[in-house]
Structure 1
C-alpha cells in the first residue's frame, strides 16, 4: 500500500490501538485510551511526519514503549496544569489574586 496521511489510517488500525491500550493498562496505566495512544504517537513518534504506510503505523503502535507514553502523559499533565492556572489567574480566582 502507498503512503497516506496518518489520519486516513486511524479507523483501520483501531484494533492495534485498542491492543496497545490494553497492554498499557496491564502495566498500570489505567487512564490509557486508544485515542490517548494515538495522540502520543502523533506528538512523540511521528512529530509532524504525516505520510506513512499502513505497516509503518502498525509497527509504531506495537513498538511504542511505556516510557514514551509516560513521558507524553507527564507533559500533558504539566500543560493542563499550566492552562488551569492561567484560566484561574484570568478570572481572578487564584490565590495570588487575594493578596
Structure 2
C-alpha cells in the first residue's frame, strides 16, 4: 500500500529485502505479523514525511534497518484509531453478542 506520488516510491523494490528483514525481526521479538507494506506506510507517512531530493539508497536502507519497534507501534496504533468504525461490518446481532457480559 504505497503512498501515491511519494518521492521514494521508486526505491521500494530496492529496499524490499531490508523491509522484509525488519518485518521478520519485529515478528521474532513479539510484535505480531508486520508486513513490508505496513513498514513502507510508516516510513513514507512518518519517517520520510519531508523527503530529501538528493537521498542515497544507503541512507534509506539505514532508515529501514534502524527503525525502532516502539516508533512503528505508536504509528500503527494511531493509524488503527483513525480507521472508520471497527464494527461497521458486523450486523446488529453480532454486535450485541460481542457486547454481552461474559458468563462463566
Count of aligned pairs = 83
- Inter-partner Cα distance in structure 2 for 1:67 and 1:55: 23
TM-score (norm 1): 0.74
Contact 1:24/1:30, CA 8 A, preserved across alignment: yes
Aligned to 1:9: 11
1:62 corresponds, among 65, 68, 73, to: 65
Q: Where do residues 45-56 of structure 1 align in structure 2 (5 Å cutoff)? A: 45-49=47-51, 51=53, 52-56=55-59
Tell me, which stretches of 5 or more residues in structure 1 are unaligned?
94-99
Tell me, which stretches of 5 or more residues in structure 2 are unaligned?
1-6, 93-104
1:78 and 2:81 matched: yes
Q: What is the Cα-based RMSD across aligned positions, in Å?
A: 2.1
Q: Which has the higher helix share?
A: 1
Contact 1:21/1:33, CA 8 A, preserved across alignment: yes
Contact 1:25/1:32, CA 8 A, preserved across alignment: yes
4+ residue runs of structure 1 moved beyond 3 angstroms? none
